[in-house]
Every structure is written in structure tokens, then in C-alpha cells.
Amino acid sequence: MPRPAHYETADVRIDKLVVGPFENNVFVVRSKGTGEAVIVDAANEHDLLLEVSRATGVRRVLTTHGHFDHIQAVTHLRDAGIDVGVAAQDAAMLPSYDFVIPDDDVVEVGDLRLRTIHTPGHTPGSTCFLLEGHPVLFSGDTLFPGGPGNTSFEGGDFDTIIRSIDRRLFTLPAGTLVLPGHGLDTTVGAERPHLQEWVDRGW
């Protein structure tokens, strides 16, 4: 029996796969109108991702950031003819890639539109993707239930991630569903009231 979609309307289906030892979330975003699809983060378990890609019409991978746990399947998917994109600031962290993802751009997936939102802080090139016309944000490791992503890694900066969340993500409607790179969903409205708490605690 097919698994239920993680999010679905008349024009889009989003499936969530949890892969690898760090339990990364991989999202498959598919236009029901055209059958075209993209993967958000080719994190791990390349055999599974290739099988899903063949079944759902995936042609491209959108990378939220360049940390190793989010890119383990990149080479295998590129070898299979799937193009991989990443922000310029994180491009050197990938073994290879095909296109650069600029800020405030649109990635078309059939008749769907994913708006790119550069949110540095976890990494210099961290990027979120907003599904236009839907209350759905793919936040990578920038925003989780309970706070921002870890900024203790090389290239991370706490003040920067707070600024990114406040100025770029918390301006979205409260009902926006936040789909992070690990763990459970949240919403902008659930997290926004806690921003000052995160600033005060420093992580």
C-alpha cells in the first residue's frame, strides 16, 4: 500500500523520507499537473533516492546547505543524470554540482514555484525554499522546532542565523509549515514568539 503524502493538495505532493545515521529528512516535491519533481537534499541512502527519483520524475536536487550529512548521495544522483544545485557560498563543500542557487530566485518544478531564501548562519550558503501558493517552507538546518540550527561548526555564526530567521523567515505568515532537515515539522507561528529566548540563551 502506498505511503500517505506528507503534504498534498490538488497540485502538489510532498513526500518525506528519513535517511542515514543522522536521520536526515529528504523531501520529494512533485507537481501533480506535470509529473515533474525535485528532491530537497540528497542526504544519504542513494539507492532509495534513485528508486524514488525514477518513480516520481525527479530531475534536480536542491541542496539546503553543504554539510556532509546532507550531501552523501549527491555523486550517485549526478551519475544518474540528476542535476544538483547549491548556493555559491556552500558550493565548495560538495564533491560536485551542476548549478548555483541564487537568493530570492524561483526554481520551477512543472507548474510549481519554489522561492529561494538565503539564510546564512548554520553555513554561509544555507538556503530555505518556500513553495509559492502554499504554506510550506523547507528550512534545512536553519530553523527547527525549538530554535535555530547549530552554529558551532566552521562557517556557522549565531548572530547571523538569528538575523536570517528574524528577517527572512519570521516575516512569513504564522501558518507557514516549516519542514526542517531533521526531526519534526513546526510552524512559523509556533516558533516566532520564542526568538528572544533563543537570543538570551545564546544557541
The answer to whether 79 and 56 are in contact (CB under 8 A) is no
**Would you say the C-alpha torsion 96, 57, 141, 64 has a positive or negative sign?**
positive
Residue 132 phi/psi, 5-degree rounding, is: -65, 140
Please report whether residue 195 resides in a domain.
yes
3-state secondary structure of 130: strand
**Domain residues for 144?**
7-201
Please report whether residue 81 resides in a domain.
yes
Strands (E), the chain: 7-8, 12-19, 24-31, 37-40, 58-62, 83-86, 99-100, 106-109, 112-118, 127-131, 136-140, 143-144, 147-148, 177-180, 186-187
**Would you say the C-alpha torsion 136, 140, 145, 151 has a positive or negative sign?**
negative
Task: Print pLDDT tens along the chain (203 aa).
Answer: 468 999 999 999 999 999 999 999 999 999 999 999 999 999 999 999 999 999 999 999 999 999 999 999 999 999 999 999 999 999 999 999 999 999 999 999 999 999 999 999 999 999 999 999 999 999 999 999 999 999 999 999 999 999 999 999 999 999 999 999 999 999 999 999 999 999 999 99
Please report whether residue 1 resides in a domain.
no
- pTM beyond 0.85: the answer is yes
Over residues 42-100, the pLDDT tens digits come to 999 999 999 999 999 999 999 999 999 999 999 999 999 999 999 999 999 999 999 99
Please report whether residue 12 resides in a domain.
yes
Please report whether residue 22 resides in a domain.
yes
Residue from 152, 156, 132, 148 nearest 186 by CA: 148
The number of distinct structural domains making up the chain is 1
Please report whether residue 158 resides in a domain.
yes
Please report whether residue 102 resides in a domain.
yes
User: How far apart are alpha carbons 135 and 201 in whole angstroms?
Assistant: 29
The gap between the terminal CA atoms of the chain, to the nearest Å, is: 42
| Percent above pLDDT 70 for the chain | 99
| Percent above pLDDT 90 for the chain | 99
What CATH number is attached to the domain comprising 83? 3.60.15.10
